[in-house]
A and B are shown apart, each in its own frame.
Chain A
Amino acid sequence: MTNTLLDIAGVWKAFEGNSVLRGLDLSVTRHEAVVLIGASGSGKSTLLRCINGLETVDAGSILLAGDLDVSAFKTDMDAVRRRIGIVFQSYNLFPHMTVLDNVTLSPRKVLKRSAADSKEQAMALLERFGLAGKASDYPDRLSGGQAQRVAIVRALAMEPELMLFDEITSALDPLLVGEVLDTVRDLKAGGLTLIMATHEMGFAREVADQVCFLDAGVVLEKGTPEAVFGSPQEAKTQEFLARILK
Protein backbone atom coordinates (compact mmCIF):
# COMPACT_ATOMS: atom_id res chain seq x y z
CA MET A 1 0.00 0.00 0.00
CA THR A 2 1.27 3.36 -1.00
CA ASN A 3 1.94 5.86 1.70
CA THR A 4 0.65 8.78 -0.35
CA LEU A 5 -2.51 10.27 1.17
CA LEU A 6 -3.12 13.02 -1.34
CA ASP A 7 -1.98 13.25 -4.93
CA ILE A 8 -2.67 16.46 -6.78
CA ALA A 9 -1.72 16.56 -10.46
CA GLY A 10 -2.07 19.34 -13.00
CA VAL A 11 -4.88 21.23 -11.25
CA TRP A 12 -6.27 24.34 -12.96
CA LYS A 13 -8.85 26.66 -11.50
CA ALA A 14 -10.03 30.00 -12.87
CA PHE A 15 -12.46 32.56 -11.51
CA GLU A 16 -14.14 34.59 -14.24
CA GLY A 17 -11.35 33.98 -16.71
CA ASN A 18 -8.63 34.59 -14.13
CA SER A 19 -6.54 31.49 -13.55
CA VAL A 20 -5.63 31.15 -9.88
CA LEU A 21 -4.21 27.62 -10.14
CA ARG A 22 -2.18 26.82 -13.27
CA GLY A 23 -1.47 23.13 -13.45
CA LEU A 24 -0.44 22.70 -9.82
CA ASP A 25 1.12 19.43 -8.60
CA LEU A 26 1.47 18.40 -4.97
CA SER A 27 1.90 15.11 -3.16
CA VAL A 28 1.28 14.58 0.54
CA THR A 29 2.29 11.45 2.43
CA ARG A 30 0.53 10.18 5.54
CA HIS A 31 1.42 11.92 8.84
CA GLU A 32 3.11 14.70 6.91
CA ALA A 33 2.67 18.38 7.70
CA VAL A 34 2.75 20.46 4.54
CA VAL A 35 2.97 24.22 4.89
CA LEU A 36 1.95 26.42 1.98
CA ILE A 37 3.58 29.82 1.85
CA GLY A 38 3.34 32.55 -0.74
CA ALA A 39 1.90 36.00 -1.32
CA SER A 40 -1.82 36.72 -1.13
CA GLY A 41 -3.40 35.65 -4.39
CA SER A 42 -0.83 32.95 -5.07
CA GLY A 43 -3.54 30.30 -4.84
CA LYS A 44 -3.10 28.87 -1.31
CA SER A 45 -6.74 29.25 -0.22
CA THR A 46 -8.11 28.19 -3.60
CA LEU A 47 -5.99 25.04 -3.49
CA LEU A 48 -7.30 24.12 -0.04
CA ARG A 49 -10.89 24.74 -1.14
CA CYS A 50 -10.39 22.55 -4.21
CA ILE A 51 -8.99 19.74 -2.06
CA ASN A 52 -12.19 19.36 -0.05
CA GLY A 53 -14.50 20.14 -2.92
CA LEU A 54 -15.71 23.56 -1.83
CA GLU A 55 -14.52 24.59 -5.30
CA THR A 56 -14.58 22.32 -8.33
CA VAL A 57 -11.41 22.16 -10.40
CA ASP A 58 -11.36 23.06 -14.10
CA ALA A 59 -8.75 20.46 -15.03
CA GLY A 60 -6.40 17.98 -13.36
CA SER A 61 -6.95 15.40 -10.63
CA ILE A 62 -7.00 15.29 -6.83
CA LEU A 63 -6.76 11.76 -5.51
CA LEU A 64 -7.35 11.00 -1.82
CA ALA A 65 -5.82 7.83 -0.38
CA GLY A 66 -5.53 6.41 -3.88
CA ASP A 67 -9.22 5.57 -3.99
CA LEU A 68 -11.33 8.72 -3.93
CA ASP A 69 -11.06 11.15 -6.82
CA VAL A 70 -12.15 14.53 -5.50
CA SER A 71 -11.97 16.03 -8.98
CA ALA A 72 -14.15 13.43 -10.75
CA PHE A 73 -17.50 14.60 -12.08
CA LYS A 74 -19.67 12.25 -10.08
CA THR A 75 -17.86 12.19 -6.76
CA ASP A 76 -20.10 12.59 -3.74
CA MET A 77 -18.61 15.72 -2.22
CA ASP A 78 -20.27 15.08 1.11
CA ALA A 79 -18.24 11.84 1.28
CA VAL A 80 -15.06 13.78 0.50
CA ARG A 81 -15.76 16.32 3.20
CA ARG A 82 -16.42 13.61 5.77
CA ARG A 83 -12.79 12.55 5.29
CA ILE A 84 -11.15 15.97 4.96
CA GLY A 85 -11.55 18.66 7.60
CA ILE A 86 -10.98 22.36 7.02
CA VAL A 87 -10.60 25.31 9.37
CA PHE A 88 -11.01 28.84 8.07
CA GLN A 89 -9.44 32.16 8.92
CA SER A 90 -12.78 33.52 10.20
CA TYR A 91 -13.71 30.51 12.44
CA ASN A 92 -17.29 30.38 11.07
CA LEU A 93 -18.70 28.89 14.25
CA PHE A 94 -22.50 28.63 14.26
CA PRO A 95 -23.55 31.56 16.47
CA HIS A 96 -26.94 30.11 17.41
CA MET A 97 -25.46 26.97 18.96
CA THR A 98 -23.39 26.33 22.07
CA VAL A 99 -19.80 25.23 21.68
CA LEU A 100 -20.85 21.67 22.42
CA ASP A 101 -23.59 21.72 19.78
CA ASN A 102 -21.19 23.23 17.26
CA VAL A 103 -18.89 20.27 17.81
CA THR A 104 -21.50 17.51 17.92
CA LEU A 105 -23.72 18.66 15.02
CA SER A 106 -21.85 16.85 12.26
CA PRO A 107 -21.08 13.64 14.15
CA ARG A 108 -24.78 13.37 15.00
CA LYS A 109 -26.25 14.32 11.64
CA VAL A 110 -23.62 13.03 9.22
CA LEU A 111 -22.08 10.07 11.05
CA LYS A 112 -25.41 9.30 12.76
CA ARG A 113 -23.80 8.93 16.17
CA SER A 114 -26.01 8.96 19.23
CA ALA A 115 -26.26 12.19 21.18
CA ALA A 116 -24.53 10.56 24.16
CA ASP A 117 -21.63 9.18 22.10
CA SER A 118 -20.99 12.41 20.23
CA LYS A 119 -21.20 14.40 23.44
CA GLU A 120 -18.70 12.14 25.13
CA GLN A 121 -16.32 12.40 22.18
CA ALA A 122 -16.75 16.19 21.97
CA MET A 123 -16.13 16.66 25.69
CA ALA A 124 -12.97 14.55 25.45
CA LEU A 125 -11.70 16.72 22.59
CA LEU A 126 -12.64 19.97 24.34
CA GLU A 127 -10.93 18.70 27.46
CA ARG A 128 -7.79 17.86 25.52
CA PHE A 129 -7.54 21.40 24.17
CA GLY A 130 -8.46 23.14 27.41
CA LEU A 131 -11.94 24.16 26.30
CA ALA A 132 -14.13 21.93 28.47
CA GLY A 133 -15.22 24.92 30.56
CA LYS A 134 -16.62 26.60 27.45
CA ALA A 135 -18.83 23.71 26.33
CA SER A 136 -22.12 25.40 27.17
CA ASP A 137 -21.09 28.91 26.08
CA TYR A 138 -22.22 30.54 22.88
CA PRO A 139 -19.52 31.52 20.36
CA ASP A 140 -19.83 35.25 21.01
CA ARG A 141 -18.55 34.69 24.55
CA LEU A 142 -15.26 33.29 23.29
CA SER A 143 -12.02 35.08 22.55
CA GLY A 144 -10.71 34.78 19.00
CA GLY A 145 -8.18 32.17 20.06
CA GLN A 146 -10.81 30.10 21.85
CA ALA A 147 -13.20 30.38 18.89
CA GLN A 148 -10.54 29.18 16.49
CA ARG A 149 -9.64 26.28 18.75
CA VAL A 150 -13.31 25.32 18.94
CA ALA A 151 -13.41 25.44 15.12
CA ILE A 152 -10.46 23.04 15.06
CA VAL A 153 -12.15 20.72 17.57
CA ARG A 154 -15.34 20.86 15.49
CA ALA A 155 -13.44 19.67 12.43
CA LEU A 156 -11.56 17.03 14.45
CA ALA A 157 -14.79 15.55 15.76
CA MET A 158 -15.38 14.15 12.27
CA GLU A 159 -12.08 12.23 12.64
CA PRO A 160 -10.74 13.38 9.28
CA GLU A 161 -7.84 11.66 7.52
CA LEU A 162 -6.57 15.02 6.40
CA MET A 163 -6.88 18.47 7.94
CA LEU A 164 -6.64 21.73 6.02
CA PHE A 165 -5.84 24.99 7.80
CA ASP A 166 -6.50 28.14 5.81
CA GLU A 167 -4.57 31.00 7.44
CA ILE A 168 -6.18 30.17 10.76
CA THR A 169 -4.18 32.72 12.74
CA SER A 170 -4.50 35.68 10.36
CA ALA A 171 -7.60 37.14 12.02
CA LEU A 172 -6.24 36.78 15.55
CA ASP A 173 -4.86 39.24 18.02
CA PRO A 174 -1.08 38.59 18.09
CA LEU A 175 -1.34 37.56 21.75
CA LEU A 176 -3.75 34.75 20.81
CA VAL A 177 -1.81 33.26 17.91
CA GLY A 178 0.29 31.10 20.22
CA GLU A 179 -2.55 29.08 21.71
CA VAL A 180 -3.90 28.21 18.25
CA LEU A 181 -0.49 27.22 16.96
CA ASP A 182 0.01 25.07 20.06
CA THR A 183 -3.13 23.20 19.07
CA VAL A 184 -1.79 22.53 15.58
CA ARG A 185 1.57 21.47 17.03
CA ASP A 186 -0.28 19.04 19.28
CA LEU A 187 -2.17 17.58 16.30
CA LYS A 188 1.02 17.20 14.29
CA ALA A 189 2.63 15.36 17.20
CA GLY A 190 -0.39 13.05 17.25
CA GLY A 191 0.33 12.03 13.67
CA LEU A 192 -2.45 13.88 11.86
CA THR A 193 -1.78 14.64 8.20
CA LEU A 194 -2.23 18.34 7.60
CA ILE A 195 -1.85 21.05 5.00
CA MET A 196 -1.60 24.56 6.31
CA ALA A 197 -1.55 27.88 4.52
CA THR A 198 0.11 30.43 6.78
CA HIS A 199 2.19 33.55 7.08
CA GLU A 200 3.71 32.37 10.38
CA MET A 201 7.18 31.57 9.02
CA GLY A 202 8.67 30.65 12.38
CA PHE A 203 5.93 28.10 12.93
CA ALA A 204 6.30 26.78 9.38
CA ARG A 205 9.98 26.23 9.93
CA GLU A 206 9.32 24.37 13.18
CA VAL A 207 6.40 22.14 12.25
CA ALA A 208 6.59 21.54 8.50
CA ASP A 209 7.94 18.37 6.95
CA GLN A 210 7.51 19.96 3.57
CA VAL A 211 7.33 23.66 2.73
CA CYS A 212 5.78 24.65 -0.58
CA PHE A 213 6.20 28.13 -2.00
CA LEU A 214 3.25 28.96 -4.24
CA ASP A 215 3.58 31.56 -6.93
CA ALA A 216 1.12 32.35 -9.72
CA GLY A 217 -0.82 29.13 -9.24
CA VAL A 218 2.01 26.60 -9.17
CA VAL A 219 4.35 25.18 -6.52
CA LEU A 220 7.44 27.08 -7.52
CA GLU A 221 9.72 25.59 -4.90
CA LYS A 222 9.36 22.88 -2.30
CA GLY A 223 11.48 21.03 0.16
CA THR A 224 12.34 20.70 3.82
CA PRO A 225 12.10 23.89 5.90
CA GLU A 226 15.89 23.94 6.07
CA ALA A 227 16.18 23.88 2.29
CA VAL A 228 13.42 26.38 1.49
CA PHE A 229 14.15 28.83 4.29
CA GLY A 230 17.89 28.20 4.46
CA SER A 231 18.90 28.25 0.82
CA PRO A 232 16.00 29.08 -1.46
CA GLN A 233 16.86 28.39 -5.10
CA GLU A 234 14.29 30.47 -6.92
CA ALA A 235 14.65 34.24 -7.14
CA LYS A 236 10.95 34.74 -6.32
CA THR A 237 11.21 32.60 -3.21
CA GLN A 238 14.23 34.59 -2.05
CA GLU A 239 12.39 37.82 -2.69
CA PHE A 240 9.26 36.66 -0.84
CA LEU A 241 11.20 35.43 2.17
CA ALA A 242 13.31 38.55 2.29
CA ARG A 243 10.16 40.67 2.40
CA ILE A 244 8.29 38.63 4.96
CA LEU A 245 11.19 37.86 7.28
CA LYS A 246 12.43 41.42 7.39
Chain B
Amino acid sequence: MSGWPVPRRRTSRSNVTLVTSATTAPGAPEVYFDPVRQAYRRKRARRDALVGMASLLGFVLVVGFAISRTSGWPLVQETFFNGSEFIATFPGLLDAFLLNVRIFLIAEPLILIIGLLVALARDLRSPLLLPLRVVATLYVDIFRGVPTILVIFLLGFGVPALQLQGVPNNTVFWGTAALVLSYGAYVAEVFRAGIGSVHSSQRMAARSLGLTSLQTSRYVVLPQAVRNVIPPLLNDFISLQKDTALVSVLGPIELLRQAQIDASSTFNYTAYVGAALIFIALTIPMTRFADWVQARMRKRRSMAGTA
Protein backbone atom coordinates (compact mmCIF):
# COMPACT_ATOMS: atom_id res chain seq x y z
CA MET B 1 0.00 0.00 0.00
CA SER B 2 1.30 3.44 -0.78
CA GLY B 3 2.44 5.64 2.05
CA TRP B 4 1.80 9.34 2.08
CA PRO B 5 3.49 11.69 2.67
CA VAL B 6 6.79 10.30 3.67
CA PRO B 7 9.51 12.42 5.17
CA ARG B 8 12.30 12.84 2.67
CA ARG B 9 14.71 9.97 2.82
CA ARG B 10 18.38 10.85 3.02
CA THR B 11 20.22 9.22 0.19
CA SER B 12 23.41 11.17 0.02
CA ARG B 13 26.48 9.08 -0.60
CA SER B 14 27.99 9.75 2.80
CA ASN B 15 24.99 8.14 4.43
CA VAL B 16 25.42 4.78 2.80
CA THR B 17 26.78 2.39 5.36
CA LEU B 18 27.70 -1.18 5.01
CA VAL B 19 26.87 -3.42 7.91
CA THR B 20 30.11 -4.90 9.02
CA SER B 21 29.84 -8.59 9.64
CA ALA B 22 31.28 -10.30 12.67
CA THR B 23 34.12 -11.69 10.58
CA THR B 24 35.40 -8.24 9.58
CA ALA B 25 38.55 -7.19 11.35
CA PRO B 26 38.05 -4.63 14.13
CA GLY B 27 38.66 -1.10 12.96
CA ALA B 28 37.60 -1.91 9.39
CA PRO B 29 35.87 0.97 7.62
CA GLU B 30 32.08 1.04 7.49
CA VAL B 31 32.11 1.61 3.77
CA TYR B 32 34.74 0.27 1.49
CA PHE B 33 34.79 0.84 -2.24
CA ASP B 34 37.55 -0.77 -4.27
CA PRO B 35 39.38 2.26 -5.84
CA VAL B 36 40.02 0.44 -9.13
CA ARG B 37 36.36 -0.46 -9.44
CA GLN B 38 35.36 3.09 -8.51
CA ALA B 39 37.71 4.62 -11.11
CA TYR B 40 36.37 2.26 -13.74
CA ARG B 41 32.77 3.21 -12.98
CA ARG B 42 33.54 6.92 -13.12
CA LYS B 43 35.34 6.52 -16.40
CA ARG B 44 32.49 4.57 -17.89
CA ALA B 45 29.91 7.16 -16.76
CA ARG B 46 31.98 9.96 -18.37
CA ARG B 47 32.32 8.01 -21.58
CA ASP B 48 28.56 7.27 -21.72
CA ALA B 49 27.77 10.97 -21.32
CA LEU B 50 30.17 11.97 -24.10
CA VAL B 51 28.94 9.31 -26.51
CA GLY B 52 25.35 10.33 -25.84
CA MET B 53 26.01 14.01 -26.52
CA ALA B 54 27.96 13.28 -29.69
CA SER B 55 25.29 10.94 -30.98
CA LEU B 56 22.56 13.49 -30.35
CA LEU B 57 24.51 16.31 -31.99
CA GLY B 58 25.25 14.15 -35.04
CA PHE B 59 21.57 13.25 -35.36
CA VAL B 60 20.45 16.90 -35.24
CA LEU B 61 23.09 17.93 -37.81
CA VAL B 62 22.18 15.16 -40.24
CA VAL B 63 18.44 15.77 -40.00
CA GLY B 64 18.88 19.55 -40.23
CA PHE B 65 21.18 19.24 -43.23
CA ALA B 66 18.82 16.83 -44.99
CA ILE B 67 15.85 19.11 -44.50
CA SER B 68 17.68 22.24 -45.63
CA ARG B 69 18.75 20.48 -48.85
CA THR B 70 15.21 19.58 -49.94
CA SER B 71 13.89 21.63 -52.86
CA GLY B 72 10.88 22.95 -50.94
CA TRP B 73 12.82 24.20 -47.91
CA PRO B 74 13.28 27.85 -48.91
CA LEU B 75 9.54 28.20 -49.42
CA VAL B 76 8.76 26.37 -46.14
CA GLN B 77 11.21 28.60 -44.32
CA GLU B 78 9.71 31.73 -45.83
CA THR B 79 6.13 30.63 -45.02
CA PHE B 80 6.53 29.10 -41.56
CA PHE B 81 9.78 30.40 -40.10
CA ASN B 82 9.87 33.98 -41.23
CA GLY B 83 11.89 36.01 -38.74
CA SER B 84 10.43 39.44 -39.37
CA GLU B 85 6.92 38.06 -39.45
CA PHE B 86 7.63 36.34 -36.14
CA ILE B 87 8.83 39.55 -34.54
CA ALA B 88 5.83 41.42 -35.86
CA THR B 89 3.19 38.98 -34.66
CA PHE B 90 4.62 37.46 -31.48
CA PRO B 91 3.78 40.28 -29.02
CA GLY B 92 0.17 40.27 -30.21
CA LEU B 93 0.04 36.50 -29.80
CA LEU B 94 1.32 36.71 -26.26
CA ASP B 95 -1.32 39.31 -25.52
CA ALA B 96 -4.07 37.10 -26.91
CA PHE B 97 -2.73 34.15 -24.95
CA LEU B 98 -3.73 35.89 -21.72
CA LEU B 99 -7.32 35.01 -22.60
CA ASN B 100 -6.40 31.32 -22.87
CA VAL B 101 -4.74 31.53 -19.48
CA ARG B 102 -7.82 33.19 -18.02
CA ILE B 103 -10.14 30.54 -19.48
CA PHE B 104 -7.88 27.81 -18.11
CA LEU B 105 -7.62 29.32 -14.64
CA ILE B 106 -11.39 29.73 -14.36
CA ALA B 107 -12.25 26.35 -15.89
CA GLU B 108 -9.80 24.17 -13.97
CA PRO B 109 -11.11 24.66 -10.41
CA LEU B 110 -14.71 24.34 -11.64
CA ILE B 111 -13.80 21.10 -13.42
CA LEU B 112 -12.25 19.69 -10.26
CA ILE B 113 -15.33 20.56 -8.20
CA ILE B 114 -17.82 19.18 -10.75
CA GLY B 115 -15.70 16.10 -11.35
CA LEU B 116 -15.50 15.28 -7.65
CA LEU B 117 -19.21 15.89 -7.01
CA VAL B 118 -20.25 13.80 -10.02
CA ALA B 119 -17.89 10.99 -9.02
CA LEU B 120 -19.41 10.95 -5.53
CA ALA B 121 -22.95 11.11 -6.92
CA ARG B 122 -22.31 8.15 -9.20
CA ASP B 123 -21.38 5.98 -6.23
CA LEU B 124 -24.39 6.91 -4.08
CA ARG B 125 -26.23 3.86 -2.78
CA SER B 126 -29.17 5.49 -1.00
CA PRO B 127 -32.45 4.78 -2.85
CA LEU B 128 -33.70 8.27 -2.01
CA LEU B 129 -30.80 9.77 -3.95
CA LEU B 130 -31.29 7.60 -7.02
CA PRO B 131 -32.25 10.64 -9.16
CA LEU B 132 -28.88 12.23 -8.40
CA ARG B 133 -27.09 9.07 -9.39
CA VAL B 134 -29.03 8.77 -12.63
CA VAL B 135 -28.40 12.42 -13.55
CA ALA B 136 -24.69 12.06 -12.81
CA THR B 137 -24.44 8.91 -14.91
CA LEU B 138 -26.30 10.48 -17.83
CA TYR B 139 -24.10 13.57 -17.61
CA VAL B 140 -20.92 11.49 -17.86
CA ASP B 141 -22.33 9.35 -20.66
CA ILE B 142 -23.37 12.35 -22.72
CA PHE B 143 -20.47 14.71 -22.25
CA ARG B 144 -17.83 12.03 -22.65
CA GLY B 145 -19.48 10.91 -25.83
CA VAL B 146 -19.84 14.27 -27.57
CA PRO B 147 -16.70 15.87 -29.05
CA THR B 148 -15.63 18.91 -27.03
CA ILE B 149 -15.77 21.18 -30.06
CA LEU B 150 -19.39 20.15 -30.66
CA VAL B 151 -20.29 21.03 -27.07
CA ILE B 152 -18.66 24.41 -27.64
CA PHE B 153 -20.73 24.97 -30.79
CA LEU B 154 -23.96 23.88 -29.13
CA LEU B 155 -23.53 26.06 -26.05
CA GLY B 156 -21.73 28.99 -27.67
CA PHE B 157 -24.14 29.48 -30.56
CA GLY B 158 -27.20 27.65 -29.29
CA VAL B 159 -27.84 29.10 -25.85
CA PRO B 160 -27.39 32.80 -26.73
CA ALA B 161 -29.81 32.22 -29.65
CA LEU B 162 -32.52 31.42 -27.11
CA GLN B 163 -32.30 35.07 -25.96
CA LEU B 164 -33.32 34.04 -22.46
CA GLN B 165 -33.41 36.80 -19.91
CA GLY B 166 -30.55 36.91 -17.48
CA VAL B 167 -28.51 34.42 -19.50
CA PRO B 168 -25.21 35.87 -20.67
CA ASN B 169 -24.51 35.81 -24.39
CA ASN B 170 -20.80 36.28 -23.95
CA THR B 171 -18.85 33.82 -26.15
CA VAL B 172 -15.98 33.41 -23.67
CA PHE B 173 -18.49 32.54 -20.96
CA TRP B 174 -20.14 29.82 -23.02
CA GLY B 175 -16.88 28.52 -24.41
CA THR B 176 -15.52 28.14 -20.90
CA ALA B 177 -18.77 26.54 -19.73
CA ALA B 178 -18.53 24.00 -22.54
CA LEU B 179 -14.94 23.13 -21.59
CA VAL B 180 -15.98 22.75 -17.96
CA LEU B 181 -18.85 20.42 -18.84
CA SER B 182 -16.80 18.33 -21.23
CA TYR B 183 -13.75 18.00 -18.99
CA GLY B 184 -15.87 17.61 -15.85
CA ALA B 185 -17.17 14.32 -17.23
CA TYR B 186 -13.65 13.01 -17.83
CA VAL B 187 -12.34 14.16 -14.48
CA ALA B 188 -15.35 12.59 -12.73
CA GLU B 189 -14.31 9.22 -14.11
CA VAL B 190 -10.71 9.82 -13.03
CA PHE B 191 -11.89 10.56 -9.49
CA ARG B 192 -14.13 7.50 -9.54
CA ALA B 193 -11.21 5.31 -10.53
CA GLY B 194 -9.27 6.85 -7.65
CA ILE B 195 -12.03 6.06 -5.17
CA GLY B 196 -12.12 2.51 -6.50
CA SER B 197 -8.36 2.20 -6.03
CA VAL B 198 -8.61 2.58 -2.25
CA HIS B 199 -8.79 -0.92 -0.82
CA SER B 200 -12.09 -1.89 0.76
CA SER B 201 -10.28 -2.87 3.96
CA GLN B 202 -9.64 0.84 4.56
CA ARG B 203 -13.37 1.56 4.52
CA MET B 204 -13.99 -1.46 6.74
CA ALA B 205 -11.37 -0.34 9.26
CA ALA B 206 -12.85 3.16 9.38
CA ARG B 207 -16.40 1.88 9.84
CA SER B 208 -15.25 -0.50 12.56
CA LEU B 209 -13.98 2.53 14.49
CA GLY B 210 -17.49 3.96 14.53
CA LEU B 211 -17.04 6.49 11.74
CA THR B 212 -20.18 6.99 9.66
CA SER B 213 -20.21 6.27 5.95
CA LEU B 214 -19.87 9.97 5.18
CA GLN B 215 -17.01 10.47 7.65
CA THR B 216 -15.27 7.43 6.18
CA SER B 217 -15.42 8.94 2.70
CA ARG B 218 -14.35 12.36 3.89
CA TYR B 219 -11.41 11.44 6.12
CA VAL B 220 -10.22 8.04 4.90
CA VAL B 221 -11.21 7.26 1.32
CA LEU B 222 -11.14 10.61 -0.49
CA PRO B 223 -7.73 11.82 0.75
CA GLN B 224 -6.18 8.59 -0.51
CA ALA B 225 -8.23 8.58 -3.72
CA VAL B 226 -7.23 12.13 -4.66
CA ARG B 227 -3.55 11.39 -4.11
CA ASN B 228 -3.77 8.31 -6.27
CA VAL B 229 -5.17 10.25 -9.22
CA ILE B 230 -2.88 13.28 -9.19
CA PRO B 231 -0.85 12.03 -12.21
CA PRO B 232 -3.87 11.40 -14.48
CA LEU B 233 -5.39 14.71 -13.34
CA LEU B 234 -2.22 16.57 -14.32
CA ASN B 235 -2.47 14.88 -17.69
CA ASP B 236 -5.99 16.25 -18.11
CA PHE B 237 -4.79 19.72 -17.09
CA ILE B 238 -2.22 19.66 -19.87
CA SER B 239 -4.86 18.63 -22.34
CA LEU B 240 -7.15 21.42 -21.15
CA GLN B 241 -4.44 24.04 -21.63
CA LYS B 242 -4.37 23.21 -25.32
CA ASP B 243 -8.10 22.83 -25.68
CA THR B 244 -8.68 26.42 -24.60
CA ALA B 245 -7.86 27.09 -28.27
CA LEU B 246 -11.13 25.39 -29.26
CA VAL B 247 -13.03 28.37 -27.87
CA SER B 248 -11.69 30.28 -30.89
CA VAL B 249 -14.49 28.79 -33.01
CA LEU B 250 -16.90 31.09 -31.20
CA GLY B 251 -14.96 34.20 -32.17
CA PRO B 252 -13.20 35.61 -29.11
CA ILE B 253 -9.67 36.67 -29.89
CA GLU B 254 -7.55 34.20 -28.01
CA LEU B 255 -4.20 32.84 -29.14
CA LEU B 256 -5.33 30.66 -32.03
CA ARG B 257 -7.81 33.25 -33.29
CA GLN B 258 -5.12 35.94 -33.21
CA ALA B 259 -2.74 33.71 -35.14
CA GLN B 260 -5.47 33.02 -37.66
CA ILE B 261 -6.04 36.75 -38.15
CA ASP B 262 -2.30 37.38 -38.59
CA ALA B 263 -1.91 34.49 -41.01
CA SER B 264 -4.86 35.35 -43.18
CA SER B 265 -3.86 39.01 -43.48
CA THR B 266 -0.33 38.24 -44.77
CA PHE B 267 -0.70 34.68 -46.11
CA ASN B 268 2.22 33.74 -43.90
CA TYR B 269 1.92 30.96 -41.34
CA THR B 270 4.70 32.03 -39.01
CA ALA B 271 2.08 33.28 -36.54
CA TYR B 272 0.72 29.73 -36.25
CA VAL B 273 4.20 28.46 -35.43
CA GLY B 274 4.49 31.25 -32.87
CA ALA B 275 1.19 30.17 -31.32
CA ALA B 276 2.38 26.57 -31.21
CA LEU B 277 5.58 27.67 -29.44
CA ILE B 278 3.56 29.51 -26.82
CA PHE B 279 1.41 26.46 -26.09
CA ILE B 280 4.50 24.28 -25.91
CA ALA B 281 6.23 26.71 -23.59
CA LEU B 282 3.44 26.16 -21.10
CA THR B 283 2.72 22.46 -21.57
CA ILE B 284 6.31 21.21 -21.48
CA PRO B 285 6.95 22.39 -17.92
CA MET B 286 3.57 20.92 -16.92
CA THR B 287 4.46 17.61 -18.56
CA ARG B 288 7.84 17.47 -16.83
CA PHE B 289 6.12 18.30 -13.54
CA ALA B 290 3.63 15.45 -14.10
CA ASP B 291 6.52 13.08 -14.89
CA TRP B 292 8.25 14.15 -11.71
CA VAL B 293 5.15 13.61 -9.58
CA GLN B 294 4.60 10.20 -11.13
CA ALA B 295 8.20 9.13 -10.60
CA ARG B 296 8.05 10.29 -7.00
CA MET B 297 4.87 8.33 -6.35
CA ARG B 298 6.30 5.22 -7.97
CA LYS B 299 9.37 5.47 -5.79
CA ARG B 300 7.25 5.96 -2.70
CA ARG B 301 5.10 2.98 -3.56
CA SER B 302 8.07 0.71 -4.11
CA MET B 303 9.70 1.64 -0.85
CA ALA B 304 6.48 1.61 1.18
CA GLY B 305 6.43 -1.26 3.61
CA THR B 306 3.55 -3.29 4.89
CA ALA B 307 1.33 -0.64 6.39
Contacts and interface: CB of A to CB of B under 8 A. Distances in A.
Interface stretch (A8-16, A27-35, A103-111, A123-131): A103-111
A52 B208 contact: yes
A88 B6 contact: no
B32 to A, nearest CB: 29
A54 B224 CA distance: 22
B202 A140 contact: no
Interface string B174-213: 0000000000000000000000000001101111111110
Interface stretch (B123-131, B148-156, B215-223): B215-223
A54 B207 contact: yes
Residue among A94, A143, A154 with the most chain B CB within 10 A? A94
A105 B307 contact: no
A78 interface: yes
B305 A142 contact: yes
Contact of A140 (B204, B220, B304): B304
Nearest to A154: B209
Interface string B1-41: 11111110000000000000000000000000000000000
A195 B1 CA distance: 28
Interface in A205-223: none
A115 to B, nearest CB: 14
B40 to A, nearest CB: 37
Given A96-B227, A138-B3, A140-B3, A147 B209 contact: no
A110 B219 CA distance: 12
Contacts of A93: 205, 307
A187 B4 CA distance: 31
Contacts of A82: 210
Nearest to B219: A105
A158 interface: yes
B165 interface: no
Nearest to A147: B307
A95 B306 contact: no
Contacts of A52: 208
B10 to A, nearest CB: 14
Interface in B275-307: 303-307
A109 B211 CA distance: 7
A109 B223 CA distance: 16
Given A109-B215, A139-B307, A140-B305, A95 B3 contact: yes
A91 B201 CA distance: 9
B210 A106 contact: yes
B306 A144 contact: yes
A4 interface: no
B307 A81 contact: no
A113 interface: no
B126 to A, nearest CB: 15
A158 B208 CA distance: 11
Given A106-B209, A106-B210, A141 B219 contact: no
A96 B307 contact: no
B2 to A, nearest CB: 6
A86 interface: yes
Contacts of A143: 305
B204 A92 contact: yes
Nearest to B208: A86
B300 to A, nearest CB: 8
B307 A140 contact: yes
A92 B206 CA distance: 9
A110 B211 contact: yes
Nearest to A94: B220
Given A94-B202, A94-B220, A95-B224, A78 B305 contact: no
A139 B3 contact: yes
Contacts of A154: 209
Contacts of B204: 54, 88, 92
Contacts of B2: 95, 140
Contacts of B303: 140
Given A155-B208, A155-B209, 7 more contacts: A54-B208, A85-B209, A94-B202, A110-B210, A138-B7, A140-B3, A140-B304
Top-7 shortest CB links A-B = A140-B3, A139-B307, A92-B205, A106-B209, A82-B210, A110-B210, A140-B304
Interface of A: 52, 54, 77-78, 81-82, 85-86, 88, 90-96, 105-106, 109-110, 138-144, 147, 154-155, 158, 171
21 contacts: A54-B204, A54-B207, A77-B207, A78-B210, A86-B208, A88-B201, A92-B205, A95-B1, A95-B2, A105-B209, A106-B209, A138-B5, A139-B3, A140-B1, A140-B304, A140-B307, A141-B6, A142-B305, A158-B209, A158-B210, A171-B306
